Amino acid sequence: MKLRTTSSQRTRKLKTTGRAISARPVVSSLRTEQPNPSSAEIDALDTLGILTTIQKQDATVPAAVALALPEIARAVETVVRAIRRGGRLIYVGAGTSGRIAVMDAAECPPTFGVTPNTVQAVIAGGRTALTEATERTEDDEQQARHDLASRKVGTHDVVIGLAASGRTPYTIAALQFARSRRAVTVAITSNPGSPITRAARISIVVNTGPEVVAGSTRMKAALAQKMVLHMISTASMIRLGHVYRNYMVGVRPTNQKLIARASTIIQSVSGIDETAAEKALQRAGRNVKLAILMLQTGLNRIAAQKLLNRYHGNLRAIP
């Protein structure tokens, strides 16, 4: 079937702060839509040959991410400032991008001990889109504005929009709305110069190039997005004191595996045996940071909590 791109589609504009952004550039011009010479005969290969081709292409992604580290660092700094002043990190995406965003946001509370409100994700199509394809919702700009408005996005927040193609109307509209509410906006894409890069204050472009299967951005582009989001959330939480040395001291021990992990962390940091660590964890109300501080200072739970609060929960900052 031949894809038609009308002149009205090429010239359609979305308004942003004083500028017009083309919502739908010609698809064939996007790097992620180009055929990849390395996989031109992939359908003629045996299974091992197919897997080898995919793996070789995936192996190029870390280098592409490395080139974007300065912009990723800028994003982290904005997130740290936002959360310190009571703001939130809000991811926005559609399709694969949205699912990656939801996964990263969902993992922050149990890993770092932050509230679900601190790191959130908005996906086009809502909960249904987590398990089913809802492609039409990617074009719904009005719903994007409604979804952001319902979360009362404002000046203290950072909104990160993910779109491998860089042209998803839902995500671009969400970023534009966030900017109109004076939130800091960040774009993550794999297409240099795409519309989303002009809709955000900070643009993280990971140029992963053509996919093994042309246009299938659930492959390299998605891998890059996953890496970048893990970098942003993890680095931000480290800066905010939710990691001590390289231990996840903000972990919430809500099941047997996590209770054992919390005990192991206390043992490793404090140099005590398993029995003593389990007792310390119980005395601290299953708060790993508090247990470590109580062991290091000899303070009771109330006094240790006051000291921890004084240093905003950052063990490293306590003299």
Using one digit for the tens of pLDDT, what is the confidence trace for 17-72?
434 444 455 565 788 888 888 899 999 999 999 999 999 999 999 999 999 999 99
Q: Are residues 192 and 89 in the same domain?
A: yes
Confidence of residue 9 (pLDDT cuts 50, 70, 90): very low
| Helix (H) or strand (E) segment spanning residue 257 | helix 256-270
3-state secondary structure of 208: coil
Q: Are residues 207 and 282 in the same domain?
A: no
> What single-letter amino acid sits at 153?
V
- pLDDT at position 32 is 86
Alpha helices in the chain (DSSP H): 7-11, 47-58, 61-67, 69-84, 95-112, 141-150, 169-180, 220-239, 256-270, 274-283, 288-297, 301-310
Q: What is the CA radius of gyration of the chain?
A: 22
Question: Does residue 164 register a pLDDT over 60?
Answer: yes
Asked if residue 248 is part of any domain, the answer here is no
Domain boundary among 239, 272, 294: 239
Q: Which residue has the tokens 């970023």?
A: 175
8 A C-beta contact, residue 253 and residue 94: no
- pLDDT at position 26 is 57
Q: Are residues 158 and 264 in the same domain?
A: no
Q: Are residues 38 and 150 in the same domain?
A: yes
Domain boundary among 239, 265, 286: 239
Q: CA neighbours within 13 Å on the CB side: how many for 180? A: 14
- For 267-289, what is the mean pLDDT? 96
Q: Are residues 73 and 208 in the same domain?
A: yes
Residue range(s) defining the domain that contains residue 297: 256-317
Q: Are residues 224 and 279 in the same domain?
A: no
**Token pair of 69, please?**
């580290």
Q: How many domains does the structure of the chain reveal?
A: 2
Cβ neighbours of 50 (radius 10 Å): 15
Q: Are residues 45 and 121 in the same domain?
A: yes
Among 80-84, 129-133, 303-307, the least confident range:
129-133
Strands 119-123 and 89-93: parallel
8 A C-beta contact, residue 170 and residue 144: yes
Asked if residue 223 is part of any domain, the answer here is yes
Question: Does residue 1 register a pLDDT over 80?
Answer: no
- Residues designated catalytic: 107, 138
Q: Are residues 71 and 195 in the same domain?
A: yes
8 A C-beta contact, residue 160 and residue 91: yes
Q: Which residues contact 13 (CB under 8 A, 6 or more apart)?
A: 20, 21, 22, 23
Domain boundary among 177, 205, 239: 239
Asked if residue 110 is part of any domain, the answer here is yes
Tens digits of residue pLDDT in 137-163: 999 999 999 999 999 999 999 999 999
